[in-house]
Structure 1
Amino acid sequence: MLHLLAALLAAAPLTQCFSHAAIPPLPIPPRISAGDGARLHSQSGEELPPVDTVYTFDQLIDHNNPGLGTFQQRYWSNWEFYQPGGVIVFNTPGESNAEGYMPFLTNDSINGQIAQAHNGATVMLEHRFYGFSNPLPDLSVESLRFHTIQQAIDDLEYFAKNAKLPFPGGDQVGPDKVPWVLVGGSYAGALTAFTNVNKPGLFAAYYASSAVVESITNLWAWFEPVRLHMPQNCSLDVQAAIARFDSILTGKNQTAISALKASFGLEDLAHPEDFAVALKNNLWAWQFLGPSSGDDASVFYDFCDALEVVDGANAGPNGRGGEYALAAWGKYWTDGYYTSLCGDMDAETCLGSYNASDTYFTSTAIDNYDRSWMWIVCNEMGFFQNSAPFPHPTLVSHVWQDSDDERTCQLFFPTAFPRPTPPPVERTNFAYEGWNVHTTNIYFGNGQRDPWMYATVSSPFTYVPDTPEQSIGLSEGGFHCSDMITLEGQCDASVLAVQKKGLAAIARYLAEWKAAKTGAY
C-alpha cells in the first residue's frame, strides 16, 4: 500500500546510516533544541512548543457547498527558524494519521532544510479522512463521498488562505503576503503536483518527491525496481519459485496443491488467489529500504537469506533454482514469518479476501487508513500491484488478477460498487495531467530503486523533460521518498545530489516570486 511507503520517514532512525550503505555517513546538520525535546528559536533562543503540539483549523466539509459547515482539521507547526517575511513550508503526509510524521517539521527532512535556508516555518496538515481529521464521524460510503483528490486540494488552498498560524505574526502569512512552498512525498507528492496543475500560482514553489502523478490500474512495474536491484541470485530464484508456484496452483494435482499450502502453513486458506497475493508481502518489504532504514531492511534481506544462504554459504549469482527456493520460502514462512504477519489468527481470517462480513472490510470507524486509502484506490488512482504481463519476468504470481482487486473494492464498499469495476484512472489523469504534467516552479525528486518510480515523471514508460521551470532529479541510489530524508542524503551521494538540486530549484523559484512581488522584473 502507498501509505506504508510514506512511513519510511516516520520509521527511519535519524541518527545513523544502515550498514548496507556504500558511503560513510556525513555529519548531521546542527539543530538547536532544548534538553527536554522542545525547540529553541534559532535567533532569539526562546523556547518553543514541542513539535508534536496539536493545533486545529475549521476546514470546510464540502468545498462545493460551504453551507454544510466545517470540521476540525489537525495541523502541526515548528517555527524555530522563522523570521518575519520568511517562507512557509507546507505539507500533508497524505494517507496516514499524521502523528507519526514529526520529522516533516524539522531539518531531519527536506521540509526543515528549506525552512532553515529561507528563515521559514514548517506546517503539516493532516489529510482529510485520515487520523482524526474527519469531516464526518465515520468512514461510511455516505461520508466518503467528500473524500476526493479535489477536496484535498481545496483543503490546502482554504487552509493557506485562512489559517492563523500559531506563531507571532502567523495571522499575516497568507500565500499572497509571503512565499509558501508546498512539499509532498508519494501520494502527497502527487497531490503537490496536482495542486500546481489545478490552482496555478497559489504557492510560490513546489517540491514533489516520488510523486505518483500517473494513475495506473495495474502498476505491475511496482516490482521492476525490486527485480532489477535486489540481489541477483534472490531475484532469479524468486522468479523461478513463482513459476513453479503458479504451475502447481493452477494445475489439477490436488495432492501437490495441498502439499504446497502445507509447506507455507496455509492449509486452511480456502482460495488460491489469496495464497498468491499473500506471497507479495515478502516483496512489499522493499518499500522500507534505504540507507537510513536500519533494522527495517532486515525484513527484506532476511527473506533473501532464507532462499540463498545454506550453512553460512551464499548461493552463486544464478541462485539455487525454483524447486529449492520455493521449499525454502515455505520454511521461512513456517519458521516465524507467518506469526510476525498474522499473530495468532488463522490463515483465512488473516489473509482471506472473500469474507464479506469480515470487520476489516466492513468497519467504518475513523482512523482506519486502509479503508480511506482504498477509497482513493478504487475511485481515482488504481495502483493495483500485480504480475507482469507475459512473457516479461515476474516476481509475483499470475493467479491474483486485477479482477481480484476490483472484487476487494466491492468488499470494502458494496453500495458504491455493486459489481467489480476498474478504477477510472483516465479521468484522474485527464484532470491532473498525469505524465503530461506541464507546469512551473516545481521540482520532482525521484529514485531509481523506488518501486513507485514507474508512476512518476521519471518512469521509463514516458518522457518528461527536465527544465528550469519543471526540474527533475533522479538518484541511482534512491528508494521511495529518499530525498525527503536528510540522513538519506548523508548516506548516499546520489540522493544528496538530488536534494541539492531540489534546494537550488526551490531557492530559484522563491527568488523569482519575491522579484515579481517587488517589481524587480
Structure 2
Amino acid sequence: MVRVIAEKIGASMVILEHRYFGKSIPVDNLTTENMKYLTLENSLKDLTYFARTVELPFVKDASRGSTAVDVPWVMVGGSYAGALAAWTATLFSGTFWAYYASSATVHNLVDFWQYWTPIQENMPQDCRGVATTLIDHIDNILTYGTEQNVTHLKARFGFPAKLCNDDFMTALADGAYSWVDRYFYKEVGDEYPRSVFLVWCDYLTSNHTKDSAIAPADVEAALNGYVRWWKELGRSDARQSLGCSPDQTDYQCFASSSDNPKKLDTSLSNADDISFMWQVCSWPFEDWVTGSPPGIPTIVSRYITVDYKIKDCASLFPTGPNGQTYGIAKGLTPDIVNDYTGDWTTVNTSRLIYVNGEADPFREITVSADSRPGGPLKDTPEVPVKIVPHGFHASDLLIPEGEANEGVKKVQEEVLAQLVEWVGEWPGGSLPQ
C-alpha cells in the first residue's frame, strides 16, 4: 500500500528503522543498563528529527529541499507504527503534512483480555461454542480435579505432571493466538494451506453437531480433538516459535519455573525480541493478553494471567550494576504512556486518517474500540475513521488483501483518494515532478 500511495502522490518512499531494532542499535549488548536510550519520547523525536533535517541522496532538484518542511510528507504505519503516526500527529503536529494510521494501538492497559472479543465475534461460532466450553472444562480439572485427574490430563498431551498449569495452558493456546496471522489473500483459492486458526477449529469441532448445544460427550470428543491437534501440529509449531532445540524435552521448552532456568541472550542478534519487551515492560505498554475474566466466555485459559505474563520482565531485565531496572519494577503503569500520548483523544490533530478492522484482535486498544469513552471515534473530515468489514490486523496495508476482498479494496481506495486530496492542499507552492 505504501508503494501505491507514493505512486499516486508522486512521492519517494522512505522506510525508517526504529532505534534498537534491526541494525539501528547504539550499544554493544542489550543489558538492562544499556536499554536506557530506548524510550517512547526518543523514538518519536527520531521521526520528527529525521523528517525535518534529512538530506535525501536521490533528490533530483538540488536547489530545492526535500525535508518535511519543504514538501508534504505523509507518515504511514500499522499497529505500533500506526500508533507512532497518530501520536506524532498529536504531539508534534505540523511535522508531517498527513498521517495514515492502520490498526493503531493508541491505548495501553495492563490486562488486555479484550483481545479475544473481536476474535470471538468473528470466528466460526460452532468453534467458539466448543472452545469456550472446553477451556472451562480443562480449567475446572486443573482447579478442582484430583492430583490424578490433573496428571492424567497433562499426560494426554504428552506433558509431565510437574509442568505448571499456567505453562501448560499457555502452550496449548497457540492455536487461538494464531488468529492474528490470518489474511484474506491466503484464504481464497488453493495456493496457501488452510489457516492455523481454522485448522485448530477443525480439530475441536470435528465430532460436534453444529445445531445443538455442546453435551458432555461432545466435551470429551473436543478434548480428544485438542489432543490430536497438539500432537499432530501444535506441538512442533509451538516448539519452533520458542526456538527449542531437538534435544530439549517439552518440559525444558515450555516450563518457566525457577527449576528450569533459561539462558538470557542479550546479544544484538536477539535485539528485536528484547527491544519489543523493553517497550512492554519499561515504558510500559504492558497490554498483556490474558484469559477472559470469570463470567465472560474465553477461548484461552484463565490460568494465563497478568502475573504469569509479567514474570518475563524480571527474567529479561535483571537489575543492573547501579540499580538500573525496568519501568514496571519502578511502579510505572500504562497510564503514564496514555497521559503522555493523549490516549484515545485526537486533540490538536488534522489530516490524520485511521483504519481499523472489525476482526482485528487489537481493535479494543484502537480508536474504534467499543470500550473507548464515548464509543468508537466517529468519522470526520479532519480525522476520517474507516472500518474494514471483518478486517484483520492492518489488512488495508497489503495490496493483495484488497485484491482478495472487496471490503478491503473499498477502504484502500478511500484512503488513497483522501491522501491525494490532502497532498493537493499543500500550501508551499508547486511540487517537484
Query: 2:404 and 2:213 mapped to 1: Cα distance?
Result: 29
Residue of 323, 337, 341 corresponding to 1:432: 341
Counterparts in 2 of 1:418 and 1:219: CA distance versus 1, 3 Å: closer
Q: What's the offset of the Cα at 1:375?
A: 0.8
Instruction: Tell me if 1:363 matches 2:265.
Output: yes
Residue by residue, what CA displacement relative to the aligned partner does 1:80-136 show, whole Å, maximum 9, x if unpaired? xxxxxxxxxxxxxxxxxxxxxxxxxxxxxx211110101111110111111111011
- Residues 75 and 96 in structure 2, CA contact (< 8 A), matched pair in contact too: yes
Give 5+ residue unaligned stretches, structure 2.
241-245, 320-324
* TM-score of the two chains, using structure 2 as the length reference: 0.88
**In structure 2, what is the equivalent of residue 451 of structure 1?**
361
**In structure 2, what is the equivalent of residue 251 of structure 1?**
144
Amino acid at match of 1:224: T
**In structure 1, what is the equivalent of residue 405 of structure 2?**
492
Residue of 85, 104, 114 corresponding to 1:192: 85
Q: What's the offset of the Cα at 1:205?
A: 0.4
Counterparts of residues 472-511 of structure 1 (less than 5 Å)? 472-511=385-424
Q: What's the offset of the Cα at 1:504?
A: 2.2
**In structure 1, what is the equivalent of residue 31 of structure 2?**
140
Query: 1:481 and 1:325 mapped to 2: Cα distance?
Result: 32
**In structure 2, what is the equivalent of residue 389 of structure 1?**
293
User: Greater CA deviation, 287-296 or 497-506?
Assistant: 287-296
Give 5+ residue unaligned stretches, structure 1.
1-109
**In structure 2, what is the equivalent of residue 162 of structure 1?**
53
Query: 2:38 and 2:194 mapped to 1: Cα distance?
Result: 33
- Residues 269 and 347 in structure 1, CA contact (< 8 A), matched pair in contact too: no
Between the two proteins, what is the percent identity of the paired residues? 31
SS of 2:199's partner is helix
**In structure 2, what is the equivalent of residue 127 of structure 1?**
18
Query: 1:296 and 1:193 mapped to 2: Cα distance?
Result: 35
User: Greater CA deviation, 287-296 or 430-439?
Assistant: 287-296
Q: What's the offset of the Cα at 1:253?
A: 0.5
**In structure 2, what is the equivalent of residue 517 of structure 1?**
428
**In structure 1, what is the equivalent of residue 226 of structure 2?**
329
Query: 1:135 and 1:466 mapped to 2: Cα distance?
Result: 41
SS of 1:182's partner is strand
- Residues 217 and 423 in structure 1, CA contact (< 8 A), matched pair in contact too: no
Say how many residue pairs are matched. 403
Counterparts of residues 68-467 of structure 1 (less than 5 Å)? 110-169=1-60, 172-267=65-160, 270-293=163-186, 295=192, 297-310=194-207, 315-318=209-212, 321-342=218-239, 344=246, 345-355=248-258, 357-359=261-263, 362-368=264-270, 369-379=272-282, 380-415=284-319, 416=325, 424-438=333-347, 439-462=349-372, 463=375, 464-467=377-380
Q: What's the offset of the Cα at 1:341?
A: 2.1
- Residues 268 and 348 in structure 1, CA contact (< 8 A), matched pair in contact too: no
Amino acid at match of 1:437: T
- Residues 51 and 95 in structure 2, CA contact (< 8 A), matched pair in contact too: no
**In structure 1, what is the equivalent of residue 322 of structure 2?**
none
- Residues 132 and 367 in structure 1, CA contact (< 8 A), matched pair in contact too: no
Q: What's the offset of the Cα at 1:387?
A: 1.5
Amino acid at match of 2:277: M
Amino acid at match of 2:279: I
Q: What's the offset of the Cα at 1:252?
A: 4.6
Query: 1:282 and 1:317 mapped to 2: Cα distance?
Result: 24
Query: 2:328 and 2:402 mapped to 1: Cα distance?
Result: 46
SS of 2:144's partner is coil
SS of 1:517's partner is coil
Residue by residue, what CA displacement relative to the aligned partner does 1:119-160 show, whole Å, maximum 9, x if unpaired? 111110111111111011211111211112211111111222
- Residues 161 and 175 in structure 1, CA contact (< 8 A), matched pair in contact too: yes
Q: What's the offset of the Cα at 1:269?
A: 5.4
Question: Hey, which of these two has a bigger chunk of strand by percent?
Answer: 1
**In structure 2, what is the equivalent of residue 13 of structure 1?**
none
Query: 1:128 and 1:441 mapped to 2: Cα distance?
Result: 26
| Higher RCO (CA-CA < 8 Å; seq separation 6+) | 2
* TM-score of the two chains, using structure 1 as the length reference: 0.73
Q: What's the offset of the Cα at 1:432?
A: 0.6
Counterparts in 2 of 1:296 and 1:216: CA distance versus 1, 3 Å: farther
Q: What's the offset of the Cα at 1:490?
A: 1.7
Amino acid at match of 2:23: F
Amino acid at match of 1:411: S
Q: What's the offset of the Cα at 1:357?
A: 3.7
Residue by residue, what CA displacement relative to the aligned partner does 1:480-521 show, whole Å, maximum 9, x if unpaired? 000001111121111122212212221232122x1x3249xx
Query: 2:249 and 2:414 mapped to 1: Cα distance?
Result: 50
SS of 1:218's partner is coil
**In structure 1, what is the equivalent of residue 243 of structure 2?**
none
